[in-house]
Amino acid sequence: MDEPLHLAQIAAYRRMSAEQKIEQAIALYWSARHLKTEAIRLQHPEWTEERVRARVREIFLLATT
């Protein structure tokens, strides 16, 4: 999962404007939230949609690096 970036990827990121980089970061954030939501739904099929959303909010609120 921690594969090094290919030189072409590094060059592409360097060509991006700050706005494009922020857009990419936001898209990655929402992709992660969507994946986590689906994982929780699979783990807890009995939970209501509100409970799933609340758990995802909690996970992302308390996330650390």
5-58 pLDDT, tens digit per residue, is 799 989 999 999 999 999 999 999 999 999 999 999 999 999 999 999 999 999
CB-CB contact of 41 with 47 (8 Å): yes
40 burial (CB, 10 Å; 0-12 / 13-18 / 19+) is: middle
Domain assignment of residue 45, yes or no: yes
Domain count, the chain: 1
What local confidence, expressed as pLDDT, does residue 49 receive?
Answer: 97
2 pLDDT higher than 80: no
- Per the structure, the complete domain to which residue 49 belongs is given by 17-61
Report if residue 41 sits inside a domain.
Answer: yes
What pLDDT is stored for residue 65 in this prediction?
Answer: 62
What is d(CA 9, CA 21) in angstroms, rounded to the nearest whole number? 13
